[in-house]
Structure 1
Amino acid sequence: MVDVVLTMINRGDKLVTGQINALTAFKIGLTFLVPYCVSMFSSVLAMRERLQLINPAEG
């Protein structure tokens, strides 16, 4: 949902007027990809930290 809001804030004018080119499409793709990557990265770090607390000898 965050990605839709960010896309409308950052590229909404181009979407409404139909002025989408390859660069704009690429930037929209990044707008959807970056929050996903950040979320996955932080989840992996949190899981690693939790596993180290459970099994400190294996970390």
Structure 2
Amino acid sequence: MDINDLRSMFTVLTFVLFVGIVWWAYSGQRKQAFDEAANLPLDDDSVPGGTGAGSTDK
């Protein structure tokens, strides 16, 4: 076994890992969690008094 065999095995392993991550990301079981995460920036969490974390008052 030489370095080229190790490189080939590493390439195949990373390809299998990539395919597994793509399969996991596009599976129907994760759709609801990803939809909720996609809507997080649109949620209104601001405090009406302007004293929240994003306030510019000093």
Normalising TM by the smaller chain, what interval? 0.3 to 0.5
Normalised by the length of structure 2, the TM-score is 0.46
Structure number with higher helix proportion: 1
